[in-house]
Amino acid sequence: MKNILYSLGLVLLASCQTLAGALGGGVGAGVGSALGGPPAAALGAVGGVIGMEAMVGGGSPKDAALAAATGQPQGQIASTMHETGGLIQTIGWWYLILFVLLPLFTKKGRTWIKKFSSIHQTVSQAEIDARDEEQDVRLNSLEQKFNDAVFKKDVE
């Protein structure tokens, strides 16, 4: 009986944010255990708590409901995700500047660009003409053989 009173007191004194996390953890654990046993239940509980934290957040219930309705969750998880996204974007820009664009302005980078841009000019025009002429000769010989075969059939 004493445990029931303590549990009831905790539920009554707990805030909505705490109850939302507990509810999310319980639902996630239930779904996880139905799908894959104890390891999946643990992962489901973690996912449920994170999901509820992202939906409910730390503001007033009105703000949390408005944020969830507009697709912009509030709270610690949402803030962490936003900050991590900003950090990844900043690191990406610095990587682009330091390791891609800046080396192109050095002498080694300029020579690399010159070599890369001249790759498509590795075959001379004389070689292309010789290849085309060889193909024309083959095509003419095939046409001649075809015509000879057709005329022989007509003559017979």
Report the candidate in 77, 81, 68 with the shortest Cα–Cα distance to residue 49. Answer: 77
pLDDT of 155 over the 70 cut: no
pLDDT for res 147: 84
The whole-angstrom distance between residue 53's C-alpha and the CA centroid of its chain comes to 24
81: exposed, middle or buried (C-beta count within 10 Å: 0-12, 13-18, 19+)? Answer: middle
Identify whether the C-beta of residue 31 lies closer than 8 Å to the C-beta of residue 70: no
Dist CA 65 CA 80 (whole Å): 20
pLDDT, tens only, 36-49: 888 888 888 888 88
Longest dimension (CA), the chain: 116
Dist CA 156 CA 153 (whole Å): 5
- The pLDDT of 26-30, averaged and rounded, is 87
How much is the pTM? 0.33
pLDDT of 58 over the 60 cut: no
> Tokens in use for 81?
């995700």
Report the candidate in 11, 19, 14 with the shortest Cα–Cα distance to residue 64. Answer: 19
Can you tell me which residue has the tokens 């192109």?
104
Dist CA 123 CA 129 (whole Å): 11
**pLDDT-based confidence at residue 23 (cuts at 50, 70, 90):** confident
pLDDT, tens only, 119-148: 666 777 788 888 888 888 888 888 888 888
Residue 142: strand, helix, or coil: helix
